[in-house]
Structure 1
């Protein structure tokens, strides 16, 4: 089949099945917002192997299988992320006597300025006192990544906060001071 004919055929398939595949993704994941994206990703994957899909006995069933597999992967990723968050919060120490609220706000502001991975490594290692191994497990990265990101994150905090930046400041920032920052 010529390239243009394949594109026309795929476009017709897309128009016929996109809404159905999006509904399937929504029902499987329970997420209306991500369902359209998941269906679009599945159709993109189908386009990349369109010759195999169109040769299948039931191309629509093949497409539903791709959506189901992608939904399964999405759900597994969400479960892993929930486990990481649960691990993060399970080791939270709520004790902080009389924090210096302005300093806590400065530290929180500086932490928010860090890229996510550096911030997560610094907070898990120093505010929640997780080991490098537990931090790596919680974030799904290697221990080496935790070491380098924590070091770089602390160096950046020291640059932002000056020489008075302390681990205690990071720990105090992790405790709710009663106000929102």
Structure 2
């Protein structure tokens, strides 16, 4: 198959970064089955803008930001759908005040309990080893915002998982 320069360049970008973007989506949504779709949707959005993006230095940062926004939208849709189902199935409201201690041992489950903005900062900083600057660039926020959200998110993980397990996550010794 013949590719023009733009197509070949995008194909190379896709090959190099698809797996990483899929992993990011899986960690943000907690749904590995949807991760490939989100990564593909993000790359499709990039392809549509490739003529403008191919000259940009921060294409990967932009792609990470697109994945984060798509994951956020998916989570919101999922939450709205769960609320609708709950309204139809039950007249009583059963609220869970905190995570189940057994479930909190699983890092992915604990990440799912974090508010999305903190979760995306913790995942990009610690699971993907991005600098504060690169994380800020991917999310379109300031470095100070990344510091704050990462710090608060890590503190929440420590409360849910215990300092030893959360410390292992942050230093890369835990399961991801």
Output the TM-score relative to the length of structure 2.
0.49
The higher radius of gyration belongs to: 1
Q: What TM-score comes out, normalization by structure 1 length? A: 0.48
